[in-house]
Amino acid sequence: MAEPPRIHIPADDRPDLEEAVREGGGRTAPLERADGLVWLGGRPDELPELPDSVRWVQLPSAGVEQWLRAGAIDRDRAWTSATGAFGLPVAEHALALMLAADKAIHAFARERSWVDEGRHRVRSLEGATVAIIGAGGIGRALIGLLEPFGAEVIAVTRRGREIPGPARPARTLPADRVAEAWPEAHHVVIAAPATDGTRHLVGAPELESMREDAWLVNVARGSLVDTDALVAALRAGSIAGAALDVTDPEPLPDGHPLWDLPNVLITPHVATPPEAERRHFAGRVRENVRRLAAGEELEGLIDPEGGY
């Protein structure tokens, strides 16, 4: 019978991760004797030198662009991210932003007296078209959350393949046909990974082709949207508004034009609450330890060529 995988967790205050390792069929061990490392730091330069025995490294975040830029991900071992692990809480946040926009909560919350009916436009998600750009863990969870509202979903994925799961989009488009989604959607939700190829995925031409009553919702990374182009579109009224949990630059500095625009909702990268992040990350560790022990493909494998 094979030995259980030995996993190093460089923290004394994460009993949840120690339990996840045990439940996955592994056991904790010092780094010098470990088969795997669950890394909790945010910076590549903090990572210690890894012994040859380490054949798997689990990173704590979904986005790995800084790790790839730093050249920290080698080919001597498997590296996994948390991509998809936080899909449901981030999808909940995206849904909340869409509902807040449709119900004009951003506008009503700024009023200081009762306003006449029709002062701010209110609409329903029922019958609306939602384009989800990137149908990974976040996108698939959002498709399921939108199903009871009766919204029509257009999902855009890298290759346009059918999306698994009980809830299905009305249409799935490959990334090279994303231009077909911009003019149709009442909400455009950005949920794609940040790579060199997706930088400024939404720029002036894309914003210009969107509906005048459309809202842009970004819960991915700020770099996917050209901020200057977005500010110009919002000022011109070429789109109805933007709801952003991520920005470029981030943190968004005081005095930035986005803070003062009345058709903008901003939350400070809080789509995944800390307790949900801990719970879902522990779930990813548990599953990957189980897969490591069984010799199965790990979840969230990082593709250096793909950039995520």
Q: Which of the residues are catalytic? A: 221, 250, 269
Q: Which residues, at least 6 apart from 112, have a Cβ–Cβ distance to it below 8 Å?
A: none
DSSP line for 274-285: HHHHHHHHHHHH
DSSP line for 145-197: HHGGGT-EEEEEESS-PPPPSSS--SEEEEGGGGGGTTTT-SEEEE-----TT
**Whole-number Cα distances in Å, 172 to 135, 150, 162, 190, 258:** 9, 17, 7, 15, 32
Q: Is the peptide bond before 257 cis (omega within 30 degrees of 0)?
A: no
- At which residue do the structure tokens 């991915």 appear? 220
Calculate Rg over the CA atoms of the chain.
Answer: 21
- At which residue do the structure tokens 């800084």 appear? 66
Positions of E strands within 87-145: 129-133
CA-nearest of 236, 133, 213 to 180 is 133
